Amino acid sequence: MIKPGEVEGNEIEVNSDRRNFMKAATVAGLAGAVAMAPAMAKAQQAEAKDPVAPAGLKPGAELDGRFPIMYETSVPETMRLAAQYMAALTRRDLGGLSELFHYPFVTYEGIDTVIVNSKDELMATPPPSLNTTGKGPNKIRKGSYDILDNIELLCYTPVGAGISLNFSRFDANGKKLQGVSGIYGMTNNDGKWGIEFISTIFRPADQLHLNYDAEQFAERSIHDTYRDHDLGRKYNGLNPNFTTQPDMNPGKWGGVTIGSYSFSFVGRPGQSTMDAYKVKGVKSRLRVSGATETTVSNPQAAANGDERFRNVSGGGVGKFFETLEWNNSRVLAADMEKAHAVSGNNRFMEDGSLLNKGVYMVVLLYRNGRFTASDNGGAIFGRQMYQDRTNDLLPPEL
């Protein structure tokens, strides 16, 4: 295992410092949220401005975590929304909650993908995790109260950020009823910061020490998906085991993109990484898709597509050779039917030199006898480019 400061290929390992940054950003963001919290929750509307490319962004490179524009606005806004969301939920204030969302937004209720299309729809038929009315399907016992446990920043770009938020629910006599683990995605759409992606896992208090081996199987699903997907790319789609796979998880899925392409723009005149971070005029970042019972790939098409992918994915560093799972992938919470994780990918040249690192957060649902894979199905919030070495000093510049 590489430790902080050790060399990985031609780069200095920096992922080990990520957790410290995330914790510091969380503390700073919460402090700001407390200072500016209004009496009633209200999503912030500001002038819609597209982010401007920062100095030092090289031609064809992707915006990555070295640039303060990636987090100096999105992280405080996300923490403000998280604090306001928790406050409105604790007050059992559905009206206050309704002001914090973009419409439509996706919420994963158990293994169901629920798309809430409007404020009126949320007020009339709130999904169980958000139903504070005491009527209809809901998870809130009368007289209960909630206590915030922790918030962690998971991914960020200029137009959005993803967090985990955990709290405990108690009955009126102070007995703990549930531990609740959630992941939330906040975005800036046309100048308004709002929540666009939610998933929550509710665990009875006396079951919190059990995980039913769910964490193990969810983590295994992440690893297996990267193995199959990445070997398919590495070997140009020539192995049918990697390119022709039945889709074992049919159904509806909702994912949100916050910028970062899966390729660079080196050799693509007229196109820019900043196109991925537009704010003005953007009404929604949610993409809803439906999977069928089986999906049969065309090996030749896959081969052609992967060859093109290799040609553009090396950026200004060199030729892409392989993708490996992000070395900080981890399951955040899991039960028998659902898991939350943070994952991503590292891309390398054949000599082991790092090309780039990306990260996102994901919901894994247990359908048809297995957890969905983290790179399949669409229940993803992200992607953030953590590090693009196209922006580094590379030979012959060194």
| Cα–Cα separations (whole angstroms), residue 357 to 33, 161, 300 | 30, 17, 28
Identity of the highest mean pLDDT range in 87-101, 317-331, 375-389 = 87-101
Mean pLDDT in residue range 337-347: 93
Contact in structure between 113 and 379 (CB atoms under 8 Å): yes
How high does pLDDT run on average in the chain? 83
CA distance 145 to 30: 21
pLDDT tens-digit map of 351-362: 999 999 999 999
Residue 57 has pLDDT above 60, yes or no: yes
Q: What's the predicted TM-score (pTM) here?
A: 0.84
Residue 182 has pLDDT above 90, yes or no: yes
pLDDT confidence band for 264 (50 / 70 / 90): low
Residue 363 has pLDDT above 90, yes or no: yes
Mean pLDDT in residue range 40-48: 69
Task: List residues bridging with 188 in a β-sheet.
Answer: 193
DSSP for 75-131 reads: HHHHHHHHHHHHHHHHTT-HHHHHTTEEEEEEEEETTEEEEE--HHHHHHS--GGG-
Which of 80, 4, 92 lies closest to 43, judged by CA? 80
Q: Is 202 helix (H, G, I), strand (E, B) or coil?
A: strand
Whether CATH 3.10.450.50 fits 7-207: yes
Residue 86 has pLDDT above 60, yes or no: yes
The pLDDT, as a whole number, for residue 267 is 54
**38-52, 170-184, 269-283: lowest mean pLDDT where?**
38-52
Please tell me if the domain spanning 7-207 has the same topology as the one spanning 214-391.
yes
Classify domain 214-391 by CATH architecture: Roll (3.10)
Residue 333 exposed, middle or buried by CB count within 10 Å (0-12, 13-18, 19+): buried
pLDDT confidence band for 9 (50 / 70 / 90): very low
pLDDT confidence band for 183 (50 / 70 / 90): very high
- Tell me how far apart the 2 most distant CA atoms of the chain are, in Å: 69
Give residues with Cβ within 8 angstroms of 221, minimum separation 6. Answer: 364, 370, 371, 372, 373, 374
Task: List residues bridging with 327 in a β-sheet.
Answer: none
Contact in structure between 234 and 15 (CB atoms under 8 Å): no
DSSP H helix total and E strand total for the chain: 7, 16
Q: Which two tokens stand for residue 362?
A: 């994901």
What type of residue is 166? N
CA distance 40 to 96: 6
Residue 225 has pLDDT above 50, yes or no: yes
The pLDDT, as a whole number, for residue 248 is 52
Mean pLDDT in residue range 148-162: 98
Residue 134 has pLDDT above 60, yes or no: yes
Residue 172 has pLDDT above 90, yes or no: yes
Q: How many CB atoms lie within 10 A of CB 133?
A: 12
The pLDDT, as a whole number, for residue 251 is 80
Between 374 and 383, name the one with better pLDDT.
383
CA distance 226 to 50: 33
For the chain, domain boundaries: 7-207, 214-391
